[in-house]
Structure 1
């Protein structure tokens, strides 16, 4: 198994970062504007992306306020289905440290490399959203390669 990992500092309270991860409105502010559903424990988020035939579906398997959000990918790219997207939060002074993992990839295919870069851009979008009130969700996201 292969994982994507990133570490990010956000100049905000953990509660504010958590709200951007655990609500459909929050996720729409940093990942894709076309987000629906319930980001709370036991909920499901549906996210539409340009070029995708079907929405991605994230099942919320853990949502511990101010500490952690964990999703299981139920629908999306074949390489993603059955993987987990995990955000662990902790305060460090006036910064919230986000430890991000997209875990459980079967192998390090080229798409994993693309997704690692895109996750980095979306995590920076998360920081922008929480710190300034405006992120860069799709379709306003940073273009990185021929896959978007």
Structure 2
């Protein structure tokens, strides 16, 4: 199964980065303008994208503020996939954000359109 893996260096603190990936306001600042996000394990994130019908649901399965967030796809093209965000403080300042999105069944048109 194909995975997406990225790593970014961000000049910010771990708490600010965690807020950006775990809250509706944060997600709306960098990913999509329509988002709802609950807090903590078991909560649901619902994301909408322009021109795409319906909201995509992601269930929080792990939440360690300032360090790690794991989301499981519940509907839409991400059903059955898992997104893992790891936030690592850097000794020289800032953070490294590691992102992995795995569990896609195949590299097909849907994978290409929604990744």
Q: TM-score normalized by structure 1?
A: 0.71
Q: Higher strand fraction: Structure 1 or Structure 2? A: 2
CA distance in 1, matches of 2:48, 2:33: 8
Matched pairs, number: 114
Contact 2:22–2:37, Cα closer than 8 Å, also in 1: no
Q: TM-score normalized by structure 2?
A: 0.90
- Specify the alignment match of 1:54 in structure 2: 54
Which one of 81, 84, 89 corresponds to residue 83 of structure 1? 81
Deviation per CA, 1:97-141: give whole Å up to 9, x if none: 01111111111224434544xxxxxxxxxxxxxxxxxxxxxxxxx
Kindly report the root-mean-square deviation, in angstroms, between the aligned alpha carbons of the 2 structures. Answer: 1.5
Gaps of 5+ in 2: none
Shift of 1:86: 1.0
Shift of 1:63: 1.1
Alignment of 1:62-141 (within 5 A): 62-77=62-77, 80-92=78-90, 93-116=92-115
CA distance in 1, matches of 2:45, 2:62: 13
Gaps of 5+ in 1: 117-148
Q: Higher helix fraction: Structure 1 or Structure 2? A: 1
Shift of 1:9: 0.6
Contact 1:91–1:97, Cα closer than 8 Å, also in 2: yes
Deviation per CA, 1:26-46: give whole Å up to 9, x if none: 111111111113143221011
